[in-house]
Amino acid sequence: MLGRTLILRILSVRDRHIHRLLKLRHIIVEPEEELSSSFTLTRKISLFKSPERMEEGPYKCVRDGNGTVNRVIRMGTRKSQLARIQTDYVAEKLKTLYPDVHLEIVAMSTIGDKILDTALSKIGEKSLFTKELENALERNEVDLVVHSLKDLPTTLPNGFTIGAVLQRESPHDAVVLHPKNSGLTLDTLPDGSVIGTSSLRRAAQLKKRFPHLEFKDIRGNLNTRLKKLDEKEDYAAIILAAAGLKRMGWEARVSQVLGPEDCMYAVGQGALAVEVRARDCDILEMVSTLHHSETVLRCIAERAFLRRLEGGCSVPVAVNTEVKDSVLSLTGAVYSLDGADSLKEAMETSVDPGNKLESAADIQHVGVTAHNVPQCAQVAAEKLGVDLANLLLSKGAMEILTTARKLNDAR
C-alpha cells in the first residue's frame, strides 16, 4: 500500500510517466541499518528500485531482510551549520511526502568555504559554493544537492537541472548591530561607522543611501561573521540575509530589515533549490513536488535578468519581484561600486495561464525544470527578465558593469 501511495503521488504530477513509474517496486520498511554518513537523520527512508533500473548508474543501495535491493537517496550539502539546517529542512519536506524513502546526507566543503581571507568578488571563480557539490553529483557520489538558490550560477553545467525551488523566505537583507549600538539604525549610526558586508551589491546601494557610513568586507559563515561583530569593535553593524538569520533561529538579532527603497536583494535570495542530474527522472519527479509556483516564477525572471546582464558576485546587480493578481512585476538595477552611478527600471507581465491546456515538458528555464508550473507562465517570466535586462543595456548598463568589474579587479 505504501508503494501504491508513492506512485499515485508522483502520477498526480505527470501522468505521461505512468509506464516508467510503474517500474518502481513496492515499498518495504527496511530494518534499521548503520550507514556511513556525515550527518544522521532521526528517521531514515528509502526509495526502492528494481534491479534492472540499477543498471542506469552506480547508485548506493542497501538490502533489507528479504534481500530486496533498496536505493539510498544521498543529499549533498555544504558543511556549514546553515547549509545543514537548510538540507535537513528539505529532507523533512521529502519525508512528509514520502514517509518511507531512505535519505543520507553527505556534507563537504566548497572553494567559498575554504578561502576566507579574500572577498568573494575578488576570488575570480564561478560556482564558489557549488562546484565541489556538482562534481560529487556528476560522479554519482550524491543524488541531489541542496543549495541557496542565490549561490547557483544562471547557467548550470551540462546534465544538471534545478528540480525544485522551495517557497521563499524573506529575500530582504537585515542589519545586525554591535551590542553597543542597540536601538540605533543605519540612519542614526554616527558618521564614519563601519558596516561589514560580503556583497558588492549591498555596499553599492547602501553607500548611495547612507553616505555617512563606511563599508568594509567581512567574510565567513553566519556564525563567524556574528562572532567577528560581537567580540571586537571593528564593525558597528553587519548586513546579512534575513532568511539565513531566521533559519538559524537568530531573528532576535535583527535590528532592521532593509526594504527595496534601501537595498534591493540578490537574485534568488531567500529561496532554496534542489539540483539533480537531468537524466535521473525518478529523483527529478520526487523533488519536483517541492516546487512553489510563485517562487519559481519570480526566480526565473530574476535569473533571466542576471544571465542577460552576464552578472555575478563580481558586479552589483539587484532585483525586487512580486506576484499579485497573476501579474509578475520585476524591478532590476545595476550600480557602480560606489553607488554613484546606477540604472533602475521596472516591468511586469501576466503569468495567468487562463484555461490553456498544456502537456508536461522537461523544458529548462534558466536552469529550472518545473513541469508542474504552467509553461506559458515560465516563458513569460523568463521573457520578462530578458526584456528588463535589454532595457537597461540599451541605457548603458553594460558600461556601468564593465567599469565595476575592472575597478573591483584592480582593488
The one catalytic residue in 151, 173, 280, 282 is: 151
Angstrom distance (rounded) from CA 65 to CA 23: 21
Q: How many CB atoms lie within 10 A of CB 21?
A: 18
Q: Using a CB cutoff of 8 Å and minimum separation of 24, what contacts does 40-43 make?
A: 40/105, 41/88, 41/91, 41/95, 41/103, 41/105, 43/95
Angstrom distance (rounded) from CA 305 to CA 174: 24
Does the annotation mark 151 as catalytic? yes
Beta pairing, strands 194-197 & 214-217: parallel
SS3 of the chain: the string is: CHHHHHHHHHHCCCHHHHHHHCCCCCCCCCCCCCCCCCECCCCCCCECCCHHHHHHCCCCEEECCCCCEEECEEEEEECCHHHHHHHHHHHHHHHHHCCCCCEEEEEECCHHHHCCCCCHHHHCCCCCCCHHHHHHHHCCCCCEEEEEHHHCCCCCCCCEEEEEECCCCCCCEEEEECHHHCCCCCCCCCCCCEEEECCHHHHHHHHHHCCCCEEEECCCCHHHHHHHHHHCCCCCEEEEEHHHHHHCCCHHHCCEEECCCCCCECCCCCCEEEEEECCCHHHHHHHHCCCCHHHHHHHHHHHHHHHHHCCCCCCCEEEEEEEECCEEEEEEEEECCCCCCEEEEEEEEECCCCCCCCCCCCCEECCEECCCCCHHHHHHHHHHHHHHHHHHHHCCHHHHHHHHHHHHHHC
Angstrom distance (rounded) from CA 349 to CA 326: 9
Angle at 71 between CA 69 and CA 77, to 5 degrees: 160
The residues that are catalytic are: 151
